[in-house]
Amino acid sequence: MIDKDRDQVGTHVIVIGIGRYPYLLNGDAPPQERFEFPGGMGQLTSSPRSALKIAEWFANSHKHPAKPLRTLELLISGVPNTFTTPPGQVTHVEAATLQNIKNAVNRWYDYGDHHEENLLVFYFCGHGVSTGAEQSLLARILEQQSAHPSSTP
């Protein structure tokens, strides 16, 4: 999305906003494939919009004198699906699928690993679960698998 002198010291940002969860309440997966007990979790409308606003702020307003913005990755599930980069170029936003998230995080990590002075920013807006010290961020749950818990390996 934004890639400016990525090998130089700077700020590398990944922004993920997930609002569409096919297997949760009101999802678009067939009803028989949705989670039977989703814990009250359903579709989110603010997550993609919040992610877009954060990405816009980094693209237009981030002003760290020693660590300018070098890379920005934006992934969204739900609307909106376009992003306007400075100086006004409209680009398509990558879908926040599990594979796309993995690929983007690997790139983000590699870019950040070039210099120990780099600043890495990870922003996620969507559902998450926690069981004590264990915490997970939820992408599109169980992509390409049945959503029924008894059918997962």
CA 70, 90, 28, 51 dihedral sign is: positive
Confidence at residue 13, expressed as pLDDT on a 0 to 100 scale: 97
Between the alpha carbon of residue 56 and those of residues 86, 90, 111, 118, the distances in Å are: 9, 12, 20, 20
> What 3-state DSSP class applies to 55?
helix
Q: What is the pLDDT of residue 146?
A: 42
pTM for this prediction = 0.83
CB neighbour list of residue 136: distance below 8 Å, 6 or more residues apart: 128, 129, 130
pLDDT of residue 153: 38
pLDDT reported for residue 132: 83
Beta-bridged to residue 128, according to DSSP, are 137
CA atoms within 13 A on the CB side of 28: 6
As given in the structure block, the two tokens for residue 58 are 């980094």
Reading the chain (153 residues) residue by residue, the pLDDT tens digits are 788 888 899 999 999 999 988 888 888 888 888 888 788 888 898 999 999 999 999 999 999 999 999 999 999 988 767 878 777 778 888 889 889 999 999 999 999 999 999 999 999 999 888 888 888 888 765 444 444 444 443
CA angle 11, 68, 19 (to 5 degrees): 50
